[in-house]
Amino acid sequence: MDNKDTKIIKSIVMVTQIGISMLVPIFLCAALGVWLNRLFNTQICFLILVFLGIGASFRNVYILTKSFYSADMKKEHDKLKYIQELKDYSKNHPDEAEQYIEIVKTKRYPENRGTVRKQEK
């Protein structure tokens, strides 16, 4: 299996896990609420426990998605930190910034070497 297939499988497993982790607390709390309502002959236990189950399910989803995307968030944070360091360096060394821009124009993008460009036939 290649990297693309692995990502797809991980995503499918993640969606399934999110669904289960949302449904289980809600149904367990609802069942406990119905049992307590019958036991104490009240109507409020079900409502309180359903809201408690909904809160628990959203907490579970938050924890799952946080762990799933932590690697991507770290990469993004490192990239932003690197860009900020480059900006700070160019701000502190303005004479080197012009040289860098010229190098990028001529070596990385050779079509930007001058004002005259080749005409395509």
- pLDDT averaged over every residue in the chain: 81
pLDDT at 103: 59
Q: Return the structure tokens found at 115.
A: 């004002």
Q: List pLDDT tens digits, range 50-84.
A: 999 999 999 999 998 887 778 778 888 888 888 78
The angle at the Cα of 83, spanning 80 to 85, to the nearest 5 degrees, equals: 110
pLDDT at 100: 64
Distances in Å between the Cα of 121 and the Cα atoms of 24, 89, 117, 118 are 68, 43, 13, 9
User: How sure is the predictor about 85, in pLDDT bands with cuts at 50, 70 and 90?
Assistant: confident
pLDDT greater than 90 at residue 48? yes
pLDDT greater than 70 at residue 3? yes
The structural domains of the chain, with segments of one domain joined by +, span 1-68, 70-112
d(CA 54, CA 35): 18
